[in-house]
Amino acid sequence: MTEEMPYELVKKNGDFEIRRYPEAILAVVEGFIDDSGFGLLFQYISGENTTRRRIPMTAPVITTEKIPMTAPVISKKEFMAFVLPTSYTKETTPIPLNPTVKIKVQPEREIAVLRFSGRTTDARVAKFQKKIKEILQSQGLQGIGEPILMRYNSPFTPGFLRRNEVGIEINHTK
C-alpha cells in the first residue's frame, strides 16, 4: 500500500476539509509543462540519487496546472512534487544526481482541501479551484497563494476510481 502524506483533520464538511500537514520533504521539478516532470522524479526515486537506493512512492503527487488563474504554492513556476516517505529526514534524504530535481522542505501548514474523483482535465480542475475559493470566501477564510492539485492514483486507474484534491494553503487556525 502506498504511504500517504500524513495530516491532522482540523475541520470537515462533506468533501471540503481543513488539514494541518506537518513539515514534509519534497522532491521537486520546476518549469515543466503538463506531466513531463514525472519521469525525472520517478528516476530519482528509482535510484538516480547518491545512495542508488529506491525510495518508495508516496501519495499524493502535487502539481500546478497550466491554467491561467493558477500559480503554485511552492514556487512561481509550474512544478511537480513527490512527497518523500516520513522515514526520511533532512539529513537522510538522498541527493538527486540530476540537478533538475531539487529537495525542498515544506514547513508545517494548514491547507483547505476539496476532494473530487475522475480525470484531472484543465476544465475540471479549474471548476474545483473556483469552488474551493468560493467556499473559503463563504467561510471568511483567507487563502495564501493559489490552489494546487494533488493526485493519489496511478494514471492507469480508471477515472471514476481516481481520488484527486485541490488544495490551498490558509492562515493557521490554531
pLDDT average, residue stretch 8-19: 96
Angstrom distance (rounded) from CA 118 to CA 124: 9
pLDDT score at 155: 81
pLDDT for 23: 95
* pLDDT one-digit tens code per residue, 43-95: 999 999 999 999 999 999 998 754 333 333 333 468 899 999 999 999 999 99
Mean pLDDT, to the nearest integer, of 120-134?
93
Domains and CATH numbers, the chain: 3-170 (3.20.80.10)
Q: At 173, is the pLDDT very low, low, confident or very high (cuts 50, 70, 90)?
A: low
pLDDT of residue 114 exceeding 90: yes
Distance CA 3, CA 70 (A): 28
Share of the chain above pLDDT 90, in %: 74
92-110 pLDDT per residue, tens:
999 999 999 999 999 999 9
If pLDDT is split at 50, 70 and 90, which confidence band does 28 have? Answer: very high
Q: How far apart are CA 56 and CA 94, in angstroms?
A: 13
Of 24, 29, 7, 4, which Cα lies nearest the Cα of 93? Answer: 24
